[in-house]
């Protein structure tokens, strides 16, 4: 009994039973004289699929009904709005809006279609279009809440844009100050000083503190062990000794990768590599960062000054 089309309580899955298939062929006979009846059959099945939340099937049925090209604006308006509702439930807000607007074109007083179009415009953040549509709608007085909400959203967007532009101006002014300070110190660099390529340096860049001093992100490389240390804030007036004493204390906080405890500040040497010649240039650990960066042979690459550190009995290469 369940297989008989008159007694089915749910849509059939997979291959149709012979009786159902035969009835379907009659029901959807493209050669039937009454196109309105064919369109109505598709519409009814679309509604049934919609009721069972089979929205994609419903869309297909409403589309086939519209393809029958019935000369009835009210009928077509309902079909377009029904398809808009199916699209909406699938999250296809752009397609839903287009169908709802087409429904309104067929019949301007289709209130359901007007509301669906407005809901989609809000979902798509088309706030100005929503305002214009509501104000020109036959249901303007009933859409005031949408108009108000859309206007509020436009104000929020404009406010956020002003904040963003102000922040961009502030950042640009800061960067110009930094570039001026770098130029005054005759520091060479390649690429941007404000975009780092090293993963550890992401989100960190050189800045000017309240005393007008440059504070840099710095990378120490220990080639002997394939290790690195990233220093987020290295003041240009600090010496390398200042930082190395903190990084290689003579207690339990000493790096565990230095098994032989060879890395003691007094037993280390440091150098930088000129990317233009690949030559290493050693210097004293007691030097300030500022003095090293101002060396004509030094080049800051990808915004992070980089230095190589090895024990005194090892070479840099």
Q: What is the mean pLDDT of residues 158-173?
A: 97
Do 134 and 208 belong together in one domain?
A: no
Q: How far is CA 218 from CA 145, 201, 267, 302, in A?
A: 55, 8, 21, 11
Q: Is residue 287 part of a domain?
A: yes
Q: How far is CA 36 from CA 40, 42, 44, 156, in A?
A: 6, 10, 12, 49
Do 22 and 127 belong together in one domain?
A: yes
Q: What is the pLDDT of residue 56?
A: 97
Q: What is the pLDDT of residue 200?
A: 80
Range of the domain at 238: 199-311
| End position of a domain, from candidates 98, 119, 153 | 153
Do 139 and 210 belong together in one domain?
A: no
Do 128 and 207 belong together in one domain?
A: no
Do 145 and 238 belong together in one domain?
A: no
Phi, psi (degrees; rounded to nearest 5) at 275: -65, -15
Q: Is residue 216 part of a domain?
A: yes
Q: Is residue 223 part of a domain?
A: yes
Do 209 and 121 belong together in one domain?
A: no
Residue 209: give its domain's CATH number: 3.10.20.90
Q: Is residue 295 part of a domain?
A: yes
Q: What is the pLDDT of residue 5?
A: 46
pLDDT for residue 218 is more than 80: yes
The predicted-structure confidence for 46-73, as pLDDT tens digits, reads as follows: 999 999 999 999 999 999 999 999 999 9
Do 28 and 117 belong together in one domain?
A: yes
More confident residue, 19 or 33: 33
- Identify any residues that bridge with 311 across adjacent strands, giving them in sequence order: 268
Residue 88: give its domain's CATH number: 1.25.40.10
Distance between CA atoms of 55 and 82, rounded to whole angstroms?
A: 10
Do 113 and 213 belong together in one domain?
A: no
Which DSSP string do the residues of the chain spell out, in sequence order?
-TTSTTT--S---SSPPHHHHHHHHHHT-TT-S-HHHHHHHHHHHHHHHHHTT-HHHHHHHHHHHHHT--S-HHHHHHHHHHHHHHHHHTT-HHHHHHHHHHHHHH-TT-HHHHHHHHHHHHHTT-HHHHHHHHHTSTTGGGGHHHHHHHHHHHHHHHHHHHHHHHHHHHHHHHHHHHHHHHHHTT-EEES-SS---SGGGTT---EE-TTS-EEEEEEEEETTTTEEEEEEEEETT-BHHHHHHHHS-SSTTS-TT-TT----GGGEEEEEE-TTT--EEEE-TTSBHHHHHTSTT-EEETTB-EEEEEETTS---
| End position of a domain, from candidates 116, 136, 153 | 153
Q: Is residue 191 part of a domain?
A: no
Do 131 and 63 belong together in one domain?
A: yes
Confidence of residue 198 (pLDDT cuts 50, 70, 90): confident
Q: What's the number of domains the chain is made of?
A: 2
pLDDT for residue 166 is more than 80: yes
Distance, C-alpha 12 to centroid of its chain:
41
Q: How many CA atoms lie within 13 A of 52 on its CB side?
A: 16
Task: Determine how β-strand 188-190 pairs with β-strand 299-301.
Answer: parallel
**Beta carbons within 10 angstroms of residue 151's beta carbon:** 14
Do 149 and 24 belong together in one domain?
A: yes
- Both tokens of 274, joined, read 């000129």
| End position of a domain, from candidates 90, 120, 153 | 153
Q: Is residue 125 part of a domain?
A: yes
Q: What is the mean pLDDT of residues 271-280?
A: 95
Q: Is residue 127 part of a domain?
A: yes
Do 45 and 148 belong together in one domain?
A: yes
The predicted-structure confidence for 76-104, as pLDDT tens digits, reads as follows: 999 999 999 999 999 999 999 999 999 99
Q: Is residue 2 part of a domain?
A: no
Average pLDDT, whole number, for the chain?
A: 90
Q: What is the pLDDT of residue 317?
A: 80
Do 44 and 136 belong together in one domain?
A: yes
């Amino acid at each position: 009994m369940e297989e008989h089309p008159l007694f089915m309580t749910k849509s059939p899955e997979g291959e149709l039973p012979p009786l159902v298939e035969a009835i379907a062929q009659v029901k959807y006979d493209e050669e039937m004289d009454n196109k309105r009846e064919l369109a109505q059959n598709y519409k009814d099945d679309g509604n049934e699929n919609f009721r069972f939340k089979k929205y994609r099937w419903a869309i297909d049925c409403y589309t086939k009904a519209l393809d029958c090209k019935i000369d009835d604006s009210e009928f077509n308006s309902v079909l377009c709005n029904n398809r808009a509702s199916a699209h909406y439930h699938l999250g296809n807000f752009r397609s839903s809006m287009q169908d709802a607007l087409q429904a309104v074109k067929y019949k301007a007083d289709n209130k359901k279609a007007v509301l669906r179009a407005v809901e989609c415009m809000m979902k798509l953040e088309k706030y100005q279009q929503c305002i214009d549509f509501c104000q020109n709608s036959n249901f303007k007085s009933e859409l005031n809440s949408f108009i108000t909400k859309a206007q509020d959203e436009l104000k929020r967007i404009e406010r956020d844009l002003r904040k963003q532009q102000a922040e961009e101006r502030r950042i640009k002014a800061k960067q110009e100050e930094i570039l001026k300070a770098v130029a005054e110190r005759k520091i060479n660099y390649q690429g941007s000083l404000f975009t780092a390529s090293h993963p550890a340096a992401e989100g960190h860049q050189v800045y000017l503190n309240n005393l007008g001093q440059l504070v840099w992100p710095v990378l120490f490389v220990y080639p002997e062990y394939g290790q690195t240390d990233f220093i987020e804030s290295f003041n240009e007036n600090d010496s390398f000794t200042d930082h190395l004493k903190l990084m290689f204390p003579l207690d339990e906080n000493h790096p565990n990768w230095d098994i032989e405890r060879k890395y003691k500040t007094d037993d280390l040497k440091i150098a930088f590599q000129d990317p233009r010649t690949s030559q290493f240039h050693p210097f004293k650990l007691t030097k300030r960062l500022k003095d090293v960066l101002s060396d004509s042979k030094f080049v800051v690459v990808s915004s992070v000054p980089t230095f190589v550190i090895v024990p005194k009995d090892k070479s840099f290469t």
